[in-house]
């Protein structure tokens, strides 16, 4: 076995570990919100920091895997619907994370009661995040169905899942108390 195979395996392992950390944090925070029906701003800030680091590792390891697989050949990347879909979903996830950190978390840190519209916004960003993390996992593990899916298929399924997530946002937002807790 050559060094490139071992290098790829090591990078893939780092990628899987970073994803494991990220999805565990996302699901733990979702479960806490649904269980307590309260927003713990300090806890969300810590979780956001962990997710930002994990996402950074995922980007670095993912780009390294792409470089090992296809190099810098953009045409080769574009010929792989699964890869393009994954890049699109992870890009959307990253942008959503930026909005969470710059818009939602500051609202939550203020410790004041959130108006219903802001609570819906925070809940929608969270639902988008969870859906995107889970769908990125699906794409990564879609070896069995990927050959039968086009980029349009991958993106249509993502759109349907986001639509489904959006339908539960008002229900969740209406059940969460709008007064964030700030204790750690």
Please report whether residue 183 resides in a domain.
Answer: no
β-sheet bridge partners, residue 181 = 40
Alpha-carbon distance 92 to 86, whole Å? 10
The predicted model gives 113-137 an average pLDDT of 88
Query: 133: closest CA among 32, 22, 45?
Result: 22
Please report whether residue 72 resides in a domain.
Answer: yes
Identify the domain containing residue 74 by its residue range: 3-175
Structure confidence at residue 74 (pLDDT): 94
H or E segment and range at residue 175: helix 151-175
Please report whether residue 184 resides in a domain.
Answer: no
Provide the greatest CA pair distance for the chain.
59
Split into its structural domains, the chain has a count of: 1
Structure confidence at residue 14 (pLDDT): 98
The predicted model gives 162-170 an average pLDDT of 94
Give the pTM. 0.88
pLDDT tens digits, 8-38: 999 999 999 999 999 999 999 988 888 887 7
Residue with tokens 């970073």: 18
Structure confidence at residue 172 (pLDDT): 85
């Amino acid at each position: 076995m050559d060094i490139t195979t071992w290098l790829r395996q090591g990078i893939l392992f780092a990628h899987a570990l970073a994803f494991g950390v990220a999805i565990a944090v996302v699901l733990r925070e979702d479960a806490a919100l649904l269980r307590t029906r309260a927003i713990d701003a300090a806890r969300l800030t810590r979780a956001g920091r962990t997710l930002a680091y994990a996402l950074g590792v995922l980007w670095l390891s993912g780009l390294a895997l792409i470089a090992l697989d296809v190099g810098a050949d953009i045409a080769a990347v574009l010929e792989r619907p699964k890869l393009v879909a994954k890049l699109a979903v992870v890009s959307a996830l990253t942008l959503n994370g930026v909005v969470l950190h710059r818009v939602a978390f500051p609202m939550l840190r203020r410790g004041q009661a959130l108006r219903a519209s802001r609570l819906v916004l925070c809940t929608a960003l969270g639902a988008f995040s969870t859906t995107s993390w889970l769908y990125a996992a699906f794409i990564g593990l879609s070896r069995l169905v990927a050959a039968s899916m086009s980029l349009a298929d991958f993106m249509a399924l993502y759109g349907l899942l986001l639509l489904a997530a959006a339908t539960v946002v008002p229900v969740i937002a209406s059940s969460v108390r709008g007064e964030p807790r700030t204790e750690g």
